[in-house]
Amino acid sequence: MVSRLRIATSDSQAKAGKDIRQAADLIAILAEQRPYELRDIWEELTARGPKWRRLEAEAASSLDQATGSTRVREALESMLRGVGREVILPTTTRAANTADRLAAIWHCSCVYHPASHRLYRHPSLPRTPSRLLTESPPAMTAASAPPHGSNKIPATLIPGDGIGPEIVDAVVLVLAALGAPFGWDLQQGGMAGIAAGGDPLPEATLASIRRTRLALKGPLTTPVGGGFRSINVRLREEFQLYANLRPAKTLVPGGRFEDIDLILVRENLEGLYVAFEHYIPIGDDPQAVGISSGVNTRAGSRRIVRYAFEHAVKLGRKKVTLVHKANVLKALTGVFLEAGRQIAEEYKGRIDCDERIVDACAMQLVLNPWQFDVIVTTNLFGDILSDEIAGLVGGLGAAPGANIGEKAAIFEAVHGSAPDIAGRGIANPTALLLAAGLMLDHVGLTDQAHHLRKAIDDVLNRDNVRTGDLGGKASTGEYARAIVQRVTSGV
């Protein structure tokens, strides 16, 4: 039995049939030999057959009746969007068995849409033969989301700006190979959100997160000017994501600091970032004095400190350090310190607790970072210290982030969108991969999270496959495929 993928052409179907059958066989063979990018597939096809034109494809009715090879057929249909002849695709066991391997063929510029089992070209990418994909995915509505009781976990996926789509696609590729059961709802944000609907944080994106209560996002750019507030601050406030989790662990040995393994827990909603600000005019200067007020509540302080202690218990950590500035900001951070001491008493005998003034903590982190285990602090101090801690392990390219609330959780790479290298295929997806690991932990898939982190470690330190920022020469796609190889090999 065969399924026909009819493609409009002015050439003779009979004349073209042999070449196309060979092309379809070649794709299956290549898929089984090793992970290939779409560009590799295209070059192989054009080298071995005629120069095919990009034409619209139409699936025959028998295609819908095919069994056991739906994902294979859909992926091939997307790849062969540029082929201008009839394609004969056998619906055999061999073809069905290539489904997992075809996941590795997805180019890093693609997005896999689980509701339709199709690959889609990200709308910001150029129209080149190496990206022969359907232009845009259908909207995933509540009706098309995985049903209640499904083994799929609904999650919002926001590619973001700059290098965001590239690293998000790499992470989705690895998670698919890992067998992570996320049912992605693709949404936009940042500059892509403005292009789509005039808002860097569209209502459709917010509605998706309200429904899924789980999101993975690439870096989002908040436009300068135009009255737009920080996208990240808006997300935290909208979903009351009170805890910002920032782990930092040495990935590649040989740096300035070795064997770093710290966790910083940052209060995410209060402090000076509430932005109660105003100016006082003096004379002819309407902005002569700038005033900003901070707000720390006892309830908010107790909540974040308790989260830090519970996280320490869960991970088998030994100590929590309360970081403050209560010697000067006696009210604003005094409330935090007092609440922290009260919570610490509840864990006495299980978790040790000590205290640091924030400026002393910043100095000691570069003198002797190994004295710290889990650090918990207020919003502004946490923002600063978390980036300092990332510097201990190589920078923000190795720094994942999780924003946790009672009703939602959003996972991210904390670095920027790096527009200067966007589209060049050299971005490092490690931070977002590690964020995906935190996401797996959050939904209880700790074995898969461990498997992912081990694969990253093996690729970096055993296979020595690294992107340029880590001293290697691998592209984003090569690095991702190396991790896929580790994940699927089970080694």
Q: Mean pLDDT across the stretch 88-114? A: 33
Cβ contacts of 40-46, under 8 Å, gap ≥ 24: 41/79, 41/105, 42/82, 42/129, 42/130, 42/132, 45/83, 46/129
Q: What are phi and psi of 332, to 5 degrees?
A: -60, -50
Percent of the chain with pLDDT over 70: 68
pTM higher than the cut 0.75? no
Mean pLDDT for 60-84 is: 39
| Tens of pLDDT, residues 176-203 | 999 999 999 999 998 888 887 788 899 9
Report the percentage of the chain scoring pLDDT > 90.
56
Q: What's the pLDDT at 73?
A: 46
- In the chain, what's the furthest Cα-to-Cα distance? 87
- pLDDT, tens only, 391-414: 999 898 889 999 999 999 999 999
Does the pLDDT of residue 20 top 50, yes or no? no
Beta bridge partners of 403: 244, 410
Query: pLDDT, tens digit, for every residue of 132-169?
Result: 233 333 333 333 334 444 578 999 999 989 999 999 99
Q: Averaged over 71-76, what is the pLDDT?
A: 46
Query: What is the rounded distance in angstroms from the CA atom of residue 109 to the CA atom of residue 311?
Result: 36
With 70 as the cut, is the pLDDT of residue 63 above it? no
Q: Say if residue 373's pLDDT is above 90.
A: yes
Of the candidates 124, 118, 206, the one whose C-alpha atom is nearest the C-alpha of residue 160 is 124
Mean pLDDT of the chain: 76
* pLDDT at residue 36, as a whole number: 37
Distance CA 287, CA 349 (A): 53
With beta carbons less than 8 A apart as the criterion, state whether 452 and 487 touch: yes
Residues annotated as catalytic (active site), given as ranges: 273, 325, 359, 383
pLDDT reading at 59 higher than 70: no
What angle, rounded to 10 degrees, do the helices at 38-48 and 13-33 form? 140
Q: What value does the mean pLDDT take over residues 295-324?
A: 96
pLDDT tier, 489 (very low <50, low <70, confident <90, very high otherwise): confident
pLDDT of 116 > 70? The answer is no
